[in-house]
């Protein structure tokens, strides 16, 4: 592996959350662009997911004692740390807020120049009603008052999230909340990684970013069915029923159950459209995923 000081053609960077969907794309894109990369992973066996990295750091953001010197010699930190589903007894506050805060404290201690945090579009508006958004925005509050120059990247939604539409299409019928006319322009991991790197060198304190194509939810479903070569079948669920179910679950189930649903409902009932960037098309991604399907019409 190359030593941290081997090249100063580009800043030395840390990717926290390196084994996640965006994190892996960031590691690959940064290396392709010539950066020296340190990747944070939770367990040694996860190192194989970030083989492109110059150095792997083993640590858990919920255990600050395991992060000592993680930012030593680093110029820019990219953090994609966050959870949608709460596992192992960890809450949104544990990971999205305190976990990021632990990384930030190490970055401050080591004199990092720039901190890039990937949050969610409309986070400020959602924080009063969505626990996940509230945890993320608490960290944004802390980042804003940090002496480190920072930028908050707010994406619309990932291509990986759109696989839920494709899964429904595979089952033959897709369910949408309300009339399906809410809009979004989801972005691929590769395009978002490029946008994050650009943001690291920009002067803006916040950057909203989406993909090159804007769809209604119905159009995303139609795109999924088209990738499968089948006719769309869509079921519309009345919004009032979904909200009633969400309210009930929030009162009778633990946070790990109703928390993801709360976030899902908020996103699916809000237009998630941001300035367009990138070139990756959703139909192409759906096509890549379905190429191996054996149950598509004409497959053998």
Which residues fall within 8 angstroms of residue 132, CB to CB, at 6 or more apart?
82, 84, 92, 96, 120, 259, 260, 262, 263
| pLDDT value of position 294 | 44
The pLDDT tens digits along the chain (300 residues) read 334 333 446 799 999 999 999 999 999 999 999 999 999 999 999 999 999 999 999 999 999 999 999 999 999 999 999 987 767 778 999 999 999 999 999 999 999 999 999 999 999 999 999 999 999 999 999 999 999 999 999 999 999 999 999 999 999 999 999 999 999 999 999 999 999 999 999 999 999 999 999 999 999 999 999 999 999 999 999 989 888 888 888 888 887 787 888 888 888 999 999 999 999 999 999 999 987 664 444 332
User: How many C-beta atoms lie closer than 10 Å to residue 13's C-beta?
Assistant: 26
Per the listing, tokens 């190359």 go with 2
Question: Are 179 and 236 in contact, with CB atoms under 8 Å apart?
Answer: yes
Which residues fall within 8 angstroms of residue 153, CB to CB, at 6 or more apart?
116, 117, 118, 119, 192, 195, 196, 199, 206, 207, 209
- DSSP labels, 126-169: HTTT-HHHHHHHHHHHHHHTSSSEEEEEEES-BGGGGHHHHHHH
Per the listing, tokens 């089952």 go with 171
298 in helix, strand or coil? coil
Token pair listed for 196: 């994050």
Using left for φ > 0, alpha for ψ between -120 and 50, and beta otherwise, residue 111 falls in left
Which residues fall within 8 angstroms of residue 89, CB to CB, at 6 or more apart?
none
Sign of CA dihedral 109, 114, 119, 123: positive
Which residues fall within 8 angstroms of residue 270, CB to CB, at 6 or more apart?
122, 126, 182
**CA proximity to 82, closest of 35, 128, 37, 123:** 123
Question: Are 81 and 59 in contact, with CB atoms under 8 Å apart?
Answer: no
Q: If residue 290 lies in a helix (H) or strand (E), which one and from where to where?
A: helix 282-290
| pLDDT value of position 10 | 76
How many angstroms separate the CA atoms of 39 and 267, rounded? 30
Token pair listed for 150: 């920072």
Q: Show the domains of the chain with their CATH numbers.
A: 12-157+188-209 (3.40.50.720)
| pLDDT value of position 145 | 97
């Amino acid at each position: 592996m190359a030593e941290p000081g081997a090249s100063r053609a580009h800043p030395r960077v840390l990717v926290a959350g390196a084994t996640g969907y965006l994190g892996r794309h960031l590691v690959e894109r940064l290396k392709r662009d010539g950066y020296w990369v340190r990747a944070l992973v939770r367990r040694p066996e996860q190192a194989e997911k970030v083989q492109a990295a110059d150095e792997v750091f083993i640590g858990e953001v919920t255990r600050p004692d395991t992060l000592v010197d993680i930012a030593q010699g680093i110029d820019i930190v990219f953090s994609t740390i966050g959870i949608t589903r709460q596992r192992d007894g960890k809450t949104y506050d544990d990971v999205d807020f305190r976990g990021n805060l632990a990384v930030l404290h190490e970055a401050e201690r080591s004199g990092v120049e720039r901190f890039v945090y990937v949050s969610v579009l409309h986070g400020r508006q959602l924080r009063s009603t969505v626990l996940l958004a509230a945890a993320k925005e608490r960290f944004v509050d802390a980042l804003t008052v940090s002496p480190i120059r920072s930028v908050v990247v707010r994406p619309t939604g990932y291509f990986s999230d759109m696989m839920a539409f494709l899964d429904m299409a595979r089952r033959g019928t897709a369910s949408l909340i309300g009339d399906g006319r809410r809009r979004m322009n989801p972005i691929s991991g590769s395009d978002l990684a490029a946008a994050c790197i650009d943001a690291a060198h920009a002067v803006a304190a916040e950057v909203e970013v989406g993909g090159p194509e804007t769809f209604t939810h119905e159009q995303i479903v139609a795109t999924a069915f088209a990738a499968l070569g089948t006719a769309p079948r869509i079921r519309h669920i009345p919004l009032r029923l979904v909200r009633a179910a969400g309210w009930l679950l929030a009162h009778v189930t633990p946070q790990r159950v109703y928390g993801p649903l709360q976030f899902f409902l908020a996103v699916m009932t809000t237009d998630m459209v941001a300035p367009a960037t990138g070139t990756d098309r959703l139909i192409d991604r759906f096509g890549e995923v379905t190429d191996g399907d054996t149950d598509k019409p004409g497959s053998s």
